[in-house]
Each structure stands twice: as structure tokens, then as C-alpha cells.
Amino acid sequence: MTSKSFFTRFCLLFILASASITAPLCVHAGKDASAAIVKGKVNINVASAQILADMLDGVGMSKAQAIVDYRSKHGQFKRIEQLAEVKGIGPATIEKNKAKLTL
């Protein structure tokens, strides 16, 4: 294999790998997503259930929808820890996602 061929293959592999890493963020490229995901953090006061489910560890669609429903009923979260008031969201889920969450 020539060095040019190797370089071309390396660049292609790098581009494909980069695309797969950033793909989840591209899926949400609507106006709601721009407010919901800022600097890699999920704003729990504006994120849709789909964004919450996709971005948070241990949170599927049913828990994500519970977060959105809670927010609709009680208003915006004032503290990240307030997520524990949502059925199905406990301290462990909050702790493992704390670095990804913002208000």
C-alpha cells in the first residue's frame, strides 16, 4: 500500500469515526434542540422527551416523558436535584448524569 493510499484510508476512517460520535447531536438539529443542548449539556427545562432519552444514561422514553410531564405540571426545575421528584428518577440517575445536566 502506498503512503498516499494509506493516508486517504486513514482520513476516510477518521471522518467516519467523527461522524458516528457526533451523530446523536445532529439528530436533534431543530430550534428546540439548540436551546435544549448547550455545550454538550441538556437543559432539563426545555429538552423534549426524545432529547432527554437520547442524551441521558439510564433514561428511556417513559422516564423522559415523565420528566416532561412533571415540568408541564409543576413548572420549570429550579435545581437539578429536583429531578428526584419525578417518578422513576432517583439520586443514582441524577448523579451519573450530573455533568450532562443544566437548567
pLDDT at 39: 86
32 belongs to a structural domain: yes
> DSSP letter at 98?
G
For 41-52, letters b (16+ CB in 10 Å) and e give bbbbebbbbbbb
What is the residue range of 61's domain? 28-102
Residue 15 has a CB neighbour count (10 Å cut-off) of 10
> What total of structural domains would you count in the chain?
1
pLDDT at 23: 43
pLDDT at 76: 96
pLDDT at 6: 56
pLDDT at 40: 87
Residue 66: burial class (beta carbons within 10 Å; 0-12, 13-18, 19+):
middle
9 belongs to a structural domain: no
18 belongs to a structural domain: no
User: Considering the entire predicted model, what is its pTM?
Assistant: 0.68
Q: What is the dihedral of CA 48, 62, 78, 90, to 10 degrees?
A: -150
pLDDT tens across the length of the chain (103 residues): 555 455 556 544 555 454 444 444 444 444 456 678 888 899 999 999 999 999 999 999 999 999 999 999 999 999 999 999 999 999 999 999 999 999 9
2 belongs to a structural domain: no
5 belongs to a structural domain: no
Domain CATH number, residue 84: 1.10.150.280
**Residues comprising the chain, all counted:** 103
17 belongs to a structural domain: no
74 belongs to a structural domain: yes
59 belongs to a structural domain: yes
